Amino acid sequence: MYDFKKIEKKWQDKWDKEKTFKTGEDKSKKKFYGLVEFPYPSGAGMHIGHVKAYAGLEVISRKRRMEGYNVLFPIGFDAFGLPTENYAIKTKTHPRIVTDNNIKTFTKQLKQMGFSFDYDRAVDTTDEKYYKWTQWIFLKMFEHGLVFRDKTLVNFCPSCRVVLSNEDSQGGKCDICHNEVVQREKDVWYLRITEYADKLLEGLKEVDYLPNIKVQQENWIGKSTGAMVDFKIKGSKEKLKVYTTRPDTLFGVTFMVIAPEHPLVDKMSKKITNMDEILAYREEAKKKTEFERVELQKDKTGVEIKGIKAIDPVNGVEIPVFVADYVMMGYGTGAIMAVPAHDQRDYDFAKKFGIDIIEVIKGGDISKEAYTGDGEMVNSDWLNGVDNKKEAIEKMVDFLVKNKVGEKAIQFKMKDWAFNRQRYWGEPIPLVHCPHCGIVPVPYEELPLKLPPLEKFEAGTDGESPLAKMDSFVNCKCPKCGKDAKRETDTMPQWAGSSWYFLRYIDPHNDNELASKEELKYWLPVDWYNGGMEHVTRHVIYSRFWHHFLYDIGVVPTKEPYAKRTAQGLVLGPDGDKMSKSKGNVVDPLEVINEYGADTLRAYILFMGEYGLECPWNENGIKGVSRFLDRVYNYQNKLNDEKGFTKKLEPIINKTIKKVSNDFESMKYNTAISSLMILLNEYDKYETITKDDYRVFLTLLNPIAPHITEELNEIALHNKEISSQEWPKYDESKCADEEVTVSCSVNGKLRATISVPTNITADEQAKIAKEQENMKKYIDGHEIVKEIVIPGRIVNIVVK
C-alpha cells in the first residue's frame, strides 16, 4: 500500500501553513457559500456521521474553487448545551475547559480528514464575542414583542432537569437522554415563532429544498383552515368557542369536549354538580404527556360535566359537554364540537359513553367506524343533497357569519418556542426583573452579559438554574430606575447559538455588528446547506425564523437564509443497525484513518451507497476502495511521453468528465466514483497512458481524495497544485453514446424499433424491447414461449 500516512501529513501541513482554502476577498468574483451543520464538540470527538455529513459539500466546495468561484466553506462549534455540560459533570471538569479541549481535538480531527474548511473563520457559540450577538438578537426580538413569559404546562425532563420544547420531546421522550418527559407547570420564556408561521410557509416556495424536507417543514408548521363556531351554554351568558375544520358536519354534532384544563370548568363551577370528579380527572390528565393524550389508538377517557348543556347554533339542539384528555388546550380553542359519525376519536368516545351517532355525509358504514371521506349531505336540513366538500363547507361558513355565531379561521400546529433552560452552560438571558419597572432589558451597550464562572454548575433537583444560587450574578440594579433588581437566571436553549451562526461566518471577527452589511450582501444566501434529517423541524425552522426576523428589521438582505437544503443518510453499523456504544457496532473514523488513510475513508463513505440513504458499513467495501487508490498510485509508472489524450480513450474520458461533474452536483458521489473506476479499467487495457489521461483522472478524483491526487500530480506530472487548477471541461460532441438500431418483433412480425448502445447486453436489450407499447400490445395476455435476442441486432418474442 502507498505510504498514505506520510503523504496525507505532508499535504495537510502544507494546506494549513499556506492557508490554501482561505476564503477569498475578491468581491468581483462569483461566490459560493457551502454550509454544513457545525458539530457540538463532545468528548467523543469526530464520529463517522460527521465524516459523511461533511464529505458531501467538501466535494462540491473543492469543485467550485476549481470552477473559479470565491468559496466560503466554514466550520465552527455549537458548544453550549447539555451534551457538553453533562460531559463536564461526568468528568468533573469545568465546561469551559471541556469545550476548549474538545474544540482543539475536533479541529485536529477535521484537519486529519483533509477537509478544506476555512478554519480561520471558526466560530464558537460559547465565545463571549459570539454570544454577545446571540443576546443582541434576543433583545431585538424582545424590543419587537416577540419575547413573552407565560405560565403553562411544559414538557419537563426529570433526568436532565430541563424544560423541553415540543420539538425536543417528540414522542414523549427527551431528545437528550431519551427518558420519558412529564408535564409541569412553569414560568417560561417564549419566542413568538407562531407570528412567523405564514412567512415560514410562504418562504418554502422560493427555496430549493429536497421535497421530503419541505413536506416535513409544512407538516411541522401545520397550517389548517376551518372555522370558529360559538356554542351557547344553556341558561348562561358563557359561550363555548370551538375550532373545527369541518363546519359542514354541524348537524352531526352530538356532544362537545373541552380540554381538562379549559377555563370554562372554573367559570361554571357554581352550576357544575360534579366538580370533584372533574377536578380529579384534571389532575390525572396533568400526568400525561401530550403525546400520550393525542394518540389515536388510545382508550378514550372522559367525564361528563353535569349541570350544563351546550346548544348547537344550527338547529338549537341541546347537547352534553365532556372533559376528555384527547382534546388539547394548546390547539385551536381547547374545545371541540364532536361529530362521532365522521371523526374516529369522537366515534370511539361516543361508543364508550353511549352517545348518539348521526350520519350527515353519505358514503361509509357508520355501524363499524367513522366515515371520514367526502360525499352527499344528509340529515342536515337545508344542506341536504349537496356535496360536503364542494358546497356544504362554504354554505355553512356563510350561515355562521350571517348569524354571527362563527367565522372562517386558520390554525397552526406550530407552537411558540419555549426559550429557556434551567442550566448553567448556555447564554444568559439578558433581562432584569425589577419590582418597579417589571421586565427590563439589559442595555445593548452592556452586552455581552457574561456567563459568570461558577464552581458548582450542576442543576439542582428543584429545576432552578444554578445561576439562581449565585447572589453576585442575581442581584443588580434596574437599568431603568436604578433600584435593586434581580437578573433572569435561566439561560437560552441549545438552539439559540445555531440559529444564526452562518451569518457570523461571513464576518467572524466583527466587534461592531453581527456581520457587516457589505459582506452579508455578497455572501447571502447560503447557496447550499447540507445536514441531518433530524434537524429539519427544529434547527432549520428556528434559524429560518430568526433570519426572517432579521430581514424584517433590516439586518440581513435576504428573506430566506438557505437557497438549497439537502440531507445525508445515516451510516449504519456493519450489522445494519444504528451505531451505538451499547451495541458495540460503532466505527471510529480515527481507526479507519490510521489503517487505510483519510482519502480511503472519504472515498468509501461517498461510495458506500446513495448519499441521501442510510447505508451499513462494510469492511470489504473499504478494502476495495483502498485497492482502487493503490492502483491509482501505481499508474505513475505507466506514463508515456505522448501529447494529449490517448486517441481511443478520448470518448470515455469526455463522458467520464461529464458524468462525474453532473453526479457531484446531484450528490450521486457513489456513481461518480464508479465511473472513475470504470475509466481506470479502460486505462488498464493499455500498456501505458499519456500524462493528460492521468492528469484528468487525478483532477476528477481530487475533490474526493485530495491528498493522493495532489501527491501524484506533483511527483509524476510536475504540475501546479490541482486545487489551483481548473475543473476539466468536456466536449459534448465526444460524449454521444454510439447507438445502433434494433428491430423488435413478436412472432416474426416487426412491431417496433429501438435504439440502444452498441455494448448493450442481451438481457437489457430484451427488457427495453418488451417495454415498447406496441410490443406490449401483442405480448400482454399471452404466454411467452421463446425469446430470440441478438445484442445490437434483433429481438424476436414468440408467444402462444
Task: Report whether 386 contacts 400 (CB < 8 A).
Answer: no
| Rounded Cα–Cα distance for residues 472 and 121 (Å) | 35
Min separation Cβ 616 and ligand ANZ, Å = 37
Q: Is residue 331 near ligand ANZ by the rule CB under 6 A?
A: yes
Q: Is residue 533 near ligand ANZ by the rule CB under 6 A?
A: no
User: Closest Cα to residue 506, out of 517, 490, 491, 495?
Assistant: 517
Of the candidate residues 97, 215, 401, 481, the single one contacting Zn ion (CB under 5 A): 481
745 binds, options Zn ion, ligand ANZ, none, Cβ within 5 to 8 A by partner type: none
557's grid cell: 438582505
Question: For Zn ion, which is the closer residue by CB, 410 or 481?
Answer: 481
Residue 24, helix vs strand vs coil:
coil
Residue 131, helix vs strand vs coil:
helix
Task: Report whether 608 contacts 618 (CB < 8 A).
Answer: yes
Question: For Zn ion, which is the closer residue by CB, 439 or 799?
Answer: 439
Min separation Cβ 261 and ligand ANZ, Å = 11
246 binds, options Zn ion, ligand ANZ, none, Cβ within 5 to 8 A by partner type: ligand ANZ
| Rounded Cα–Cα distance for residues 745 and 752 (Å) | 7
Min separation Cβ 148 and ligand ANZ, Å = 21
* Dihedral (Cα; 348, 349, 352, 358), 10-degree rounding: -80
Q: Is residue 494 near ligand ANZ by the rule CB under 6 A?
A: no
Of the candidate residues 197, 434, 722, 797, the single one contacting Zn ion (CB under 5 A): 434
Q: Is residue 362 near Zn ion by the rule CB under 5 A?
A: no
459's grid cell: 442543576
325's grid cell: 384528555
Q: Is residue 342 near ligand ANZ by the rule CB under 6 A?
A: yes
Q: Is residue 431 near Zn ion by the rule CB under 5 A?
A: no
Q: How far apart are the first and last CA of the chain?
A: 59
Question: For Zn ion, which is the closer residue by CB, 488 or 599?
Answer: 488
Question: For ligand ANZ, which is the closer residue by CB, 240 or 336?
Answer: 336
Q: Is residue 488 near ligand ANZ by the rule CB under 6 A?
A: no
336 binds, options ligand ANZ, Zn ion, none, Cβ within 5 to 8 A by partner type: ligand ANZ
Question: For ligand ANZ, which is the closer residue by CB, 330 or 532?
Answer: 330
Phi then psi dihedrals of residue 337, to 5 deg: -90, 130
Question: For Zn ion, which is the closer residue by CB, 108 or 477?
Answer: 477
Q: What is the CA radius of gyration of the chain?
A: 33
Of the candidate residues 155, 165, 411, 675, the single one contacting ligand ANZ (CB under 6 A): 411
Of the candidate residues 294, 437, 590, 717, the single one contacting Zn ion (CB under 5 A): 437
| CA atoms lying within 13 Å on the CB side of residue 136 | 20
Q: Is residue 321 near ligand ANZ by the rule CB under 6 A?
A: no
Question: For ligand ANZ, which is the closer residue by CB, 336 or 652?
Answer: 336
Distances (CA, A) of 800 to 84, 338, 530, 746, 764: 72, 61, 55, 10, 23
- Identify which range of 239-247, 308-316, 499-507, 645-653 contacts ligand ANZ by CB under 6 A: 239-247
Count CB atoms within 10 A of the CB of residue 207.
19
Q: Is residue 246 near ligand ANZ by the rule CB under 6 A?
A: yes
Distances (CA, A) of 231 to 239, 244, 396, 422, 563: 6, 12, 15, 41, 46
Q: Is residue 436 near Zn ion by the rule CB under 5 A?
A: yes
Min separation Cβ 481 and Zn ion, Å = 3
244 binds, options Zn ion, ligand ANZ, none, Cβ within 5 to 8 A by partner type: ligand ANZ
- Identify which range of 158-166, 380-388, 475-483, 733-741 contacts Zn ion by CB under 5 A: 475-483
| Rounded Cα–Cα distance for residues 369 and 367 (Å) | 6
What mask of x and - would describe binding to ligand ANZ in positions 588 to 627, judged by CB under 6 A?
----------------------------------------
| Rounded Cα–Cα distance for residues 434 and 277 (Å) | 41
Beta strands in 96-203 (DSSP E): 147-157, 162-164, 182-191
- Amino acid 373 reads G
| Rounded Cα–Cα distance for residues 152 and 77 (Å) | 33
Q: Is residue 254 near ligand ANZ by the rule CB under 6 A?
A: no
Task: Report whether 784 contacts 733 (CB < 8 A).
Answer: no
- Identify which range of 241-249, 521-529, 687-695, 723-731 contacts ligand ANZ by CB under 6 A: 241-249
Q: Is residue 478 near Zn ion by the rule CB under 5 A?
A: yes
100's grid cell: 476548549
Residue 221, helix vs strand vs coil:
helix
User: Closest Cα to residue 756, out of 798, 795, 703?
Assistant: 795
H or E stretch at 48 = helix 48-66
434 binds, options Zn ion, ligand ANZ, none, Cβ within 5 to 8 A by partner type: Zn ion
Q: Is residue 340 near ligand ANZ by the rule CB under 6 A?
A: no
481 binds, options ligand ANZ, Zn ion, none, Cβ within 5 to 8 A by partner type: Zn ion
Of the candidate residues 141, 228, 256, 336, the single one contacting ligand ANZ (CB under 6 A): 336
Q: Is residue 380 near ligand ANZ by the rule CB under 6 A?
A: no
Task: Report whether 786 contacts 768 (CB < 8 A).
Answer: no
Count CB atoms within 10 A of the CB of residue 368.
8
Q: Is residue 245 near ligand ANZ by the rule CB under 6 A?
A: yes
416's grid cell: 411558540
| Rounded Cα–Cα distance for residues 464 and 194 (Å) | 27
Min separation Cβ 334 and ligand ANZ, Å = 5
- Amino acid 328 reads M
- Identify which range of 125-133, 337-345, 395-403, 682-690 contacts ligand ANZ by CB under 6 A: 337-345
Of the candidate residues 210, 279, 328, 439, the single one contacting ligand ANZ (CB under 6 A): 328
Q: Is residue 261 near ligand ANZ by the rule CB under 6 A?
A: no
Min separation Cβ 254 and ligand ANZ, Å = 11
| Rounded Cα–Cα distance for residues 706 and 601 (Å) | 12
Question: For Zn ion, which is the closer residue by CB, 485 or 524?
Answer: 485
Within 8 A by CB and 6+ apart from 513, the residues are 507
| Rounded Cα–Cα distance for residues 340 and 301 (Å) | 15
Min separation Cβ 445 and Zn ion, Å = 18
Q: Is residue 249 near ligand ANZ by the rule CB under 6 A?
A: yes
Question: For ligand ANZ, which is the closer residue by CB, 225 or 634?
Answer: 225
By CB under 6 A, name the binding residues for ligand ANZ. Answer: 224, 243-246, 249, 327-328, 331-332, 334, 336-337, 339, 342-343, 411
By CB under 5 A, name the binding residues for Zn ion. Answer: 434, 436-437, 478, 480-481
